């Protein structure tokens, strides 16, 4: 029964995808024990997923959550139902999403190029260090990357779809739903509907009448609106403002040049944050915006250069040139849709590695084409027998793949684990859970929520700018009995506690436990009654 399959073309596709997936998993497992952890955003996504699975809605630490978008939390839910451990479920979902991305990318590329070109591109995507590194910490970008590649695949199918059939309306509606799901994953994708509708209009205009074209586009817009509107209503209900993101105040600081992308976490649970769309638009149209925007574009360019290096961008240039030379306008049009979002990203982000993962496949598509073109040109220039050409081609692809994966081995062998993985948070959280009576009824004040997450307790946020007296006041107002101070995030605060140990404020705290990991440590204090 398997004979026809393994002797057919699908067997070749299956073997290519299996090999790429295997390399992806092996590289992930290489880094996982040393660097995998759950960070602040991962805690929020995981707790939202747990609340959704248990029927408690979008809540984090028993409070409605608006800062992080819920898309990734929805993706974690089925894994939590299967595994039962929310921390592990969040990590497994990341790895699975990365693996599912590969076949959609491969078959999307197969629409435009030959099998071996698609195989090269898929290999480069599977071993890319940025893609592998994102598997270490649960964040929304891998889901955004997966959905972007799914959209890429569906757009390739839409190109060849008969626009006169009624099926085109359902397909267009599905494209809108995917765009809406991307918005639920990352707030900047609210703009995706604009390049998507422009692409649909361009593809349809020669195949259908204007009236039918508008109707097809309306189906896409309807799918997007149906997916996005419930969350916008939810944000309005819990913020009192009409907005498309609960973190617009942080984005406004970035737009004004007053903050970087990674800052602003003190707004995580703030109920008074200004997330108004009108205020956000006001800052975008301010004179200083262009300076910040082009600075962000420059940073994105720099990060992309670091991701792909000189070899990657050499192949990218060759691939882009060949695509234009051969007038593959459909490929350029399909990839223009997610590329638009890369420019939109610069509005509120400086393009750190994690934020660029959803766009890696765009560059890899051209890099794969460019690599094959380079191999073909080289084969024509070097007089070798066929097996010699094949050996040279394999060598070039292997060296290029190793080049893109090199940072993985660099980090594994030379980067200290305590520079990224805060094991001391988990140690203290587990200690709290094992030793404190009814930990779920207790609260821990700390800079980051990871300790409370591992402890199974509620979290009270401190920004790190408070004095010991102000921290004491916050804890008493919120009936919080425990304080966790760590040198990783609160080095100055920890030192102030040490320097002020004779003062009345710090005399009300009793040091219970201290954990060290590498050069970092975290202290747990009990507030005396």
What is the rounded CA–CA span in Å between residue 249 and residue 254?
A: 9
Angle at 424 between CA 490 and CA 408, to 5 degrees: 100
Per-residue pLDDT for 508 more than 90?
Answer: no
Confidence of residue 271 (pLDDT cuts 50, 70, 90): very low
Secondary element (H or E) of residue 223: helix 210-239
- Predicted local confidence at residue 351, as pLDDT: 62
18-27, 45-54, 159-168: least confident range: 159-168
Which span out of 132-141, 365-374, 467-476 was modeled with the highest average pLDDT? 365-374
Per-residue pLDDT for 349 more than 80?
Answer: no
Tokens 């890099």 belong to 367
Q: Determine whether 234 is exposed, middle or buried from the number of CB atoms within 10 Å of its CB (0-12, 13-18, 19+).
A: middle
Classify 528 as helix, strand or coil.
coil
- Predicted local confidence at residue 492, as pLDDT: 65
- Predicted local confidence at residue 521, as pLDDT: 85
Mean pLDDT of the chain: 86
Tens digit of pLDDT for each residue in 461-491? 888 777 778 888 888 888 898 999 888 876 6
> For the chain, what percent of residues have pLDDT higher than 90?
51
174-200 mean pLDDT: 95
Secondary element (H or E) of residue 21: helix 9-35
Q: Are strands 520-527 and 509-517 parallel, antiparallel or unpaired?
A: antiparallel
Angle at 89 between CA 83 and CA 91, to 5 degrees: 145
Q: Are strands 458-461 and 443-446 parallel, antiparallel or unpaired?
A: parallel
Which residue ranges form the domains of the chain, and what is each CATH number? 3-263+272-414 (no CATH), 423-527 (3.40.190)
Per-residue pLDDT for 150 more than 90?
Answer: yes
Task: Confirm if 202 and 333 have CB atoms less than 8 A apart.
Answer: yes
Secondary element (H or E) of residue 437: none
First to last CA, the chain: 74
What is the rounded CA–CA span in Å between residue 481 and residue 443?
A: 6
Per-residue pLDDT for 265 more than 50?
Answer: no
Per-residue pLDDT for 4 more than 70?
Answer: no
More confident residue, 262 or 253: 253
Q: Of 472, 473, 459, which Cα lies nearest the Cα of 425?
A: 459
Give 207's contacts (C-beta < 8 A, 6+ positions apart).
163, 164
What is the rounded CA–CA span in Å between residue 75 and residue 80?
A: 10
Task: Confirm if 2 and 107 have CB atoms less than 8 A apart.
Answer: no
Tens digit of pLDDT for each residue in 297-308? 888 889 999 999
What is the rounded CA–CA span in Å between residue 325 and residue 467?
A: 64
Tens digit of pLDDT for each residue in 153-164? 999 999 988 888
129-133, 215-219, 400-404, 501-505: least confident range: 501-505
Q: Of 519, 518, 520, which Cα lies nearest the Cα of 484?
A: 520
445-466 mean pLDDT: 88
DSSP code per residue over 236-298? HHHHSS--S-TTHHHHHHHHTTSS-TT--GGGTT-TT----HHHHHHHHTSTTHHHHHHHHHH
164-185 mean pLDDT: 94
- Predicted local confidence at residue 355, as pLDDT: 83
Q: What is the pTM for the complete model shown?
A: 0.90
Tokens of 505: 């404020």
Secondary element (H or E) of residue 156: helix 141-160
110-114, 196-200, 484-488, 496-500: least confident range: 496-500
Tokens 């970087």 belong to 260
**Local structure of residue 358 (DSSP, 8 states):** G
- Predicted local confidence at residue 173, as pLDDT: 97
């Amino acid at each position: 029964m398997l004979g026809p399959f393994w002797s057919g073309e699908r067997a070749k596709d299956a073997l290519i995808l299996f090999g790429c997936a295997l390399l992806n998993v092996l590289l992930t497992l290489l880094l996982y024990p040393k660097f995998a952890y759950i960070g602040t955003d991962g805690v929020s996504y995981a707790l939202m997923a747990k609340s959704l699975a248990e029927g408690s809605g979008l809540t984090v630490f028993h409070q409605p959550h608006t800062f992080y978008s819920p898309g990734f939390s929805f993706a974690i839910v089925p894994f939590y139902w299967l595994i039962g451990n929310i921390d592990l479920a969040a990590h497994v979902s990341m790895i699975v999403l990365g693996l599912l991305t590969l076949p959609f990318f491969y078959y999307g590329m197969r629409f435009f190029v030959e099998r071996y070109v698609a195989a090269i591109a898929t290999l480069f995507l599977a071993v890319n260090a940025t893609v592998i590194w994102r598997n270490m910490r649960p964040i929304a970008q891998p889901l955004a990357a997966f959905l972007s590649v799914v959209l890429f695949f569906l757009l390739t199918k839409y190109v060849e779809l008969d626009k006169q059939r009624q099926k085109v309306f359902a397909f267009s509606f599905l494209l809108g739903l995917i765009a809406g799901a991307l918005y639920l994953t990352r707030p900047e994708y609210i703009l995706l509907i604009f390049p998507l509708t422009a692409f649909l209009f361009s593809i349809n205009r020669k195949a259908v009448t204007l009236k039918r074209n508008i109707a097809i586009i309306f189906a896409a817009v309807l799918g997007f609106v149906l997916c996005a509107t419930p969350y916008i209503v939810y944000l309005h209900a819990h913020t009192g403002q009409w907005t498309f993101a609960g973190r617009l105040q942080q984005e406004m600081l970035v737009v004004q040049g007053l903050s970087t992308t990674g800052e602003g976490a003190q707004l995580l649970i703030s109920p008074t944050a200004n997330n108004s769309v009108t205020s956000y638009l006001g800052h975008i149209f301010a004179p200083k915006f262009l300076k910040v925007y082009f600075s962000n574009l420059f940073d994105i360019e720099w990060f992309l250069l670091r991701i792909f290096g000189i070899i990657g961008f050499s192949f990218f240039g060759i691939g882009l040139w060949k695509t234009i030379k051969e007038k593959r306008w459909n490929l350029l049009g399909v990839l223009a849709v997610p590329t638009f979002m890369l420019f939109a990203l610069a509005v509120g982000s400086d393009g750190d590695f994690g934020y660029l993962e959803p766009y890696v496949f765009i560059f890899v598509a051209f890099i794969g084409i460019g690599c094959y073109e380079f191999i073909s040109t080289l084969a024509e220039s070097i007089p070798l027998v066929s097996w010699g050409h094949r050996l040279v081609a394999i060598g070039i692809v292997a060296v290029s793949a190793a080049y893109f994966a090199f940072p993985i081995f660099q980090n594994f062998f030379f980067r200290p684990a305590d520079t990224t993985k805060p094991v001391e948070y988990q140690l203290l959280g587990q200690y709290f859970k094992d030793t404190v009576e009814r930990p779920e009824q207790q609260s821990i004040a700390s800079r980051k929520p990871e300790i409370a997450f591992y402890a199974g307790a509620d979290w009270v946020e401190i920004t790190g700018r408070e004095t010991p007296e102000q921290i004491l006041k916050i804890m008493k107002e919120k009936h919080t009995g425990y304080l966790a101070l760590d040198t990783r995030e609160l080095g100055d605060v920890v030192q102030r506690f040490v320097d002020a140990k004779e003062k009345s404020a710090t005399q009300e705290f009793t040091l219970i436990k201290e954990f060290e990991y590498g050069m970092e440590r975290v202290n747990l204090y009990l507030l005396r009654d």
